[in-house]
């Protein structure tokens, strides 16, 4: 009798069924990782860097096989999955480069009285063992963003992928071993909720690096006690189109950053604010581009939108669209379903308090909202539990600066959408979008502590 069935989200075929692991598996893995801490302490930075570089090259070599696994498990289109592996290569490469450059600083005690004639040497040291928990939507790159920096910093790693991603995660771990990471340094488990919670609270886990939703984050925070927490959570990110925007570029960004991955991305452009002066022209172009998108089989090169992760996810998004329509929203494109596939949907006149826009909606639906004064947008964006990223299309630097100063977000992209991410940039949000920063250099610091030597 299995605990988990991996179902292909597009075909509905059963891929694999397996038993989730228990507390004894957590104890066994953590005992091994305690041993591995000695090994990591003896491994010089250049050797860790070489292992990460080999891993980057292996990701390139196995790109197609990994991409196919991601598509089979998640329904992400094959072109999107290939992009994810390219990104994971960059993440591994950046981790290899940063591993050689982790350095502290020297301080002079005599900057303040009394005179003590001492020098402080402040170095970064690994926290110990980091529990890395990842979501379904970017199973390899988000895992790389955790494993790469944690390893570079000298930690040992307990990796817990989403249960749907068992096969791609196993392949990633095999590549890590092939690159030279020892089993005592990296262990992967897919435990049930009880055993995951046990791992979070375990005394041999020093930090939890989690990406996922608010409910799981709350459960982890309640169990973690004083452990270091790094949380990358949800978003309800805006794309703002001003009256001087390059409309073709704005439409292209909206399409790519809302409909790719079938809208299941933390930094997707989930709310579109369009200035009244260009609203009608923007909406016409957007609807035309939306209707031209290829929807269907994610294994085909030309498909742009595949299925959602499972029927429950598609049900939730469909219900939110229907509720918004009942409350007065107008459908400009889409609002059609076949199995777990939702056609890309453009809506207008969605009430500001509809769940579709007030909550994080994880699906291919784009609500357009007209505005006259940009200050109105600032208050609508900030009046939200999340604060991940934002994008604005404008030629006006003063507007860009004002938004940068006033929006409660971790990043503002000018003439790009909120989905902008470069793997070596700091990444993370404010409010309920998370705590701490990913981005290789910043994640290394999050998974390290500062230790001072006074001489």
Ligand X SMILES: O=CCS(=O)(=O)O
Ligand Y SMILES: NC(=O)c1ccc[n+]([C@@H]2O[C@H](COP(=O)([O-])OP(=O)(O)OC[C@H]3O[C@@H](n4cnc5c(N)ncnc54)[C@H](O)[C@@H]3O)[C@@H](O)[C@H]2O)c1
Binding residues vs ligand Y (CB under 6 A) = 133-138, 142, 160, 162-163, 193, 196-197, 211-213, 216, 219-220, 232-235, 266, 360, 362, 434
Q: Which option in ligand X, ligand Y, none does residue 104 bind, with CB closer than 5 to 8 A by kind?
A: none
Q: Which residue, 88 or 357, has its beta carbon nearer to ligand X?
A: 88
Distance of CA 6 to the CA centre of its chain: 21
Residues 6 or more apart whose Cβ sits within 8 Å of residue 70 = 76, 81, 84, 85, 139, 140, 165, 168
Site string for ligand X, 96-135 (x = CB under 6 A): ----------------------------------------
Please give the residues from 133 up to 152 whose contact with ligand X meets the rule CB under 6 A.
137-138
Please give the residues from 420 up to 439 whose contact with ligand X meets the rule CB under 6 A.
421
Q: Which residue, 192 or 416, has its beta carbon nearer to ligand Y?
A: 192
Q: How many residues bind ligand X (CB under 6 A)?
A: 6
Whole-angstrom CA distances from 229 to 133, 154, 435 are: 11, 17, 7
SS (H, E, C) 313-357: HHHHHHHHHHHHHHCCCEEEECCCEECCEECCEEEECCCCCCHHH
Give yes or no for a contact between 155 and 60, defined as CB atoms under 8 angstroms apart. Answer: no
The region that residue 434 occupies, defined by phi over 0 for left and psi between -120 and 50 for alpha, beta otherwise, is left
Q: Which residue, 126 or 429, has its beta carbon nearer to ligand X?
A: 429
The region that residue 36 occupies, defined by phi over 0 for left and psi between -120 and 50 for alpha, beta otherwise, is alpha
In the complex, minimum distance from the CB of residue 72 to ligand Y, in angstroms, rounded to a whole number:
17
Query: How far is 132 from 146, CA to CA, in rounded Å?
Result: 6
In the complex, minimum distance from the CB of residue 135 to ligand Y, in angstroms, rounded to a whole number:
3
Retrieve residue 426's tokens: 């700091």
Q: Compute how many other C-beta atoms are within 10 angstroms of the C-beta atom of residue 162.
A: 22
Q: Which residue, 138 or 343, has its beta carbon nearer to ligand X?
A: 138
Q: Which option in ligand X, ligand Y, none does residue 421 bind, with CB closer than 5 to 8 A by kind?
A: ligand X
Q: Which option in ligand Y, ligand X, none does residue 233 bind, with CB closer than 5 to 8 A by kind?
A: ligand Y
Q: Which residue, 232 or 348, has its beta carbon nearer to ligand Y?
A: 232
Q: Compute how many other C-beta atoms are within 10 angstroms of the C-beta atom of residue 104.
A: 16
Residue 283: DSSP 8-state: H
Q: Which residue, 212 or 418, has its beta carbon nearer to ligand Y?
A: 212
Query: How far is 332 from 366, CA to CA, in rounded Å?
Result: 10
Retrieve residue 87's tokens: 């990104």
In the complex, minimum distance from the CB of residue 145 to ligand Y, in angstroms, rounded to a whole number:
8
SS (H, E, C) 384-428: CCEECEEEEECCCHHHHHHHHHHCCCCEEEECCCCCCCCCCCCEC
In the complex, minimum distance from the CB of residue 136 to ligand Y, in angstroms, rounded to a whole number:
4
Site string for ligand X, 237-276 (x = CB under 6 A): ----------------------------xxx---------
In the complex, minimum distance from the CB of residue 288 to ligand X, in angstroms, rounded to a whole number:
27
Q: Which residue, 148 or 162, has its beta carbon nearer to ligand Y?
A: 162
386 binds ligand X (CB under 6 A): no
> Which residue's beta carbon is nearest to the bound ligand X?
266
In the complex, minimum distance from the CB of residue 84 to ligand X, in angstroms, rounded to a whole number:
8
Residue among 210, 214, 242 nearest 227 (CA): 210
In the complex, minimum distance from the CB of residue 373 to ligand Y, in angstroms, rounded to a whole number:
29
Whole-angstrom CA distances from 202 to 27, 30, 33, 206, 264 are: 9, 9, 13, 8, 32
Q: Which option in ligand X, ligand Y, none does residue 442 bind, with CB closer than 5 to 8 A by kind?
A: none
Kindly list the catalytic residues: 232
In the complex, minimum distance from the CB of residue 228 to ligand Y, in angstroms, rounded to a whole number:
16
Q: Which residue, 318 or 438, has its beta carbon nearer to ligand Y?
A: 438
Retrieve residue 115's tokens: 């005179």
Q: Which residue shows structure tokens 């980091």?
A: 130
Give yes or no for a contact between 257 and 286, defined as CB atoms under 8 angstroms apart. Answer: no
Interface residues toward ligand X, by CB under 6 A: 137-138, 265-267, 421
């Amino acid at each position: 009798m299995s605990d988990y069935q991996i179902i292909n989200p597009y075909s509905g075929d059963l891929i694999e069924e397996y038993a989730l692991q228990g507390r004894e598996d957590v104890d066994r893995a953590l005992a091994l990782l305690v041993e591995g801490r000695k090994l990591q302490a003896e491994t010089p930075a250049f050797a860790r860097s070489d292992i990460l570089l080999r891993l980057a090259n292996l990701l390139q070599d196995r790109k197609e096989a990994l991409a196919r696994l991601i598509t089979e498990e998640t329904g992400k289109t094959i072109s999107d999955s290939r992009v994810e592996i390219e990104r994971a290569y960059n993440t591994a490469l950046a981790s290899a480069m940063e591993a050689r450059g982790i350095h502290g600083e020297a301080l002079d005690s005599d900057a303040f009285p009394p005179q003590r004639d001492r020098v402080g040497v402040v170095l970064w040291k690994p926290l110990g063992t980091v529990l890395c928990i990842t979501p379904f939507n970017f199973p390899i790159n988000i895992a790389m963003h955790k494993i790469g920096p944690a390893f570079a910093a000298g930690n040992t790693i307990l990796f817990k992928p989403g249960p749907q991603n068992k096969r791609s995660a196993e392949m990633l771990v095999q590549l890590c071993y092939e690159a030279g990471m020892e089993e005592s340094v990296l262990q992967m488990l897919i435990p049930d909720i009880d055993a995951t919670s046990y791992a979070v609270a375990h005394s041999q886990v020093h930090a939890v690096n989690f990406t996922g939703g608010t409910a799981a984050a709350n459960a982890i925070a309640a169990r973690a006690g004083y452990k270091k927490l790094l949380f990358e959570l949800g978003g309800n990110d805006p794309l703002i189109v001003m009256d001087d925007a390059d409309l073709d570029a704005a439409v292209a960004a909206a399409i790519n950053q809302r409909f790719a991955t079938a809208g299941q991305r933390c930094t997707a452009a989930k709310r579109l604010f369009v200035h009244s002066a260009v609203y009608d022209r923007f909406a016409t172009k957007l609807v035309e581009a939306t209707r031209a998108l290829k929807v269907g089989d994610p294994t085909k090169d030309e498909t742009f939108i595949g299925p959602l992760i499972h029927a429950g996810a598609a049900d939730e998004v469909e219900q939110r669209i229907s509720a918004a329509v009942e409350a007065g929203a107008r459908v400009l494109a889409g609002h059609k379903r076949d199995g777990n596939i939702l056609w890309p949907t453009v809506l207008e006149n969605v009430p500001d308090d509809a769940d579709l826009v007030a909550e994080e909606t994880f699906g291919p639906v784009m609500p357009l909202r007209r505005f006259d004064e940009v200050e109105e947008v600032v208050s609508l964006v900030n009046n939200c539990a999340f604060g991940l990223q934002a994008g604005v299309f404008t030629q006006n630097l003063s507007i860009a600066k004002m938004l940068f100063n006033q929006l409660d977000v971790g990043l503002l992209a000018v003439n790009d959408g909120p989905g902008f991410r470069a793997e070596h940039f700091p990444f993370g949000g404010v409010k309920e979008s998370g705590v701490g920063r990913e981005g290789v250099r910043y994640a290394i610091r999050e998974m390290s502590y500062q230790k001072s030597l006074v001489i």
